[in-house]
Structure 1
């Protein structure tokens, strides 16, 4: 009888040990999976936000070029090419804006991106070089605000 009780205690101890080890391993695997997911999302957000900032910067530059070419000679091929290039870069920036809206964790980040895109979109409408410069500086500041919001989102 003593040997049967000893065997039963040994089996129960083994089962309990296996169960506890399983629970600890499962908890550890869940933590590792959660950490990996957070790191992957952080890296993806950094890439998307960076791509958006680069696209808006290029779009803003093309808007300057478009404005200057239009004011030099509105009917020239340079003016037409600058306009077409600004349309192309607007499409690229808009695509990046959609990516930001899909991955942003807050509406403030998405709204900041939209504001940066819109500010760059309106540059070519300036009526003077002074207005262009002022609007350009404002667009740059709005993009900087987006970058601040985005950097908080990836920390």
Structure 2
């Protein structure tokens, strides 16, 4: 009888230990999964915010360049501003690569590309103030559309 009691006690201890191990393992996996999700979410948020900021800076200087070239000639060095515009565009493209690497969402990728393209249009196609105003509004909307598309992935 004592042997049976000892065997039951040992089996109970092993069963308890096994159950504890299984539960702790599941909790650890869930914790690791939540940490990974949080890290990926933060990486996306950082990339999306950096891209929106880079687009804004690129747009701001592109508009400034247009005014210097078309309405205030000789007020500033156009070549220096143009170089800076290209540097800001390169920065935006670089951060855009991060956005593409961090999301598979087609709406986010498309809106990111559209926003960059709309800002480049400010530099390339605007001949009159009216065209500039239209492209400024379009590019502002495109940046906002990118933010709107990216917001659900940032939560």
Deviation for aligned residue 1:50: 0.3
Deviation for aligned residue 1:77: 6.0
Q: CA RMSD in A?
A: 1.3
Deviation for aligned residue 1:82: 1.2
Q: Name the counterpart of 1:139.
A: 139
- Within the alignment, does 1:3 sit opposite 2:5 as a pair? no
Q: Name the counterpart of 2:151.
A: 151
**Correspondence list, 1:11-26, <5 A:** 11-26=10-25
Give the whole-Å Cα distance in 1 for the aligned partners of 2:122 and 2:16: 69
Deviation for aligned residue 1:105: 3.6
Say if 1:105 and 1:153, in contact at 8 Å, map to a contact too. no
Say if 1:112 and 1:146, in contact at 8 Å, map to a contact too. yes
Give the whole-Å Cα distance in 1 for the aligned partners of 2:130 and 2:75: 23
Normalised to the residue count of structure 2, the TM-score between the two structures is: 0.94
Give the whole-Å Cα distance in 1 for the aligned partners of 2:25 and 2:104: 28
Q: Name the counterpart of 1:46.
A: 45
Show CA shifts across 1:8-33 (max 9, x none): 11110000000000000000011111
Q: Name the counterpart of 2:62.
A: 63
Higher RCO (C-alpha under 8 Å, 6+ residues apart): 2
Give the whole-Å Cα distance in 2 for the aligned partners of 1:133 and 1:94: 24
Q: List structure 1 segments (4+ residues) > 6 angstroms apart after TM superposition.
A: none
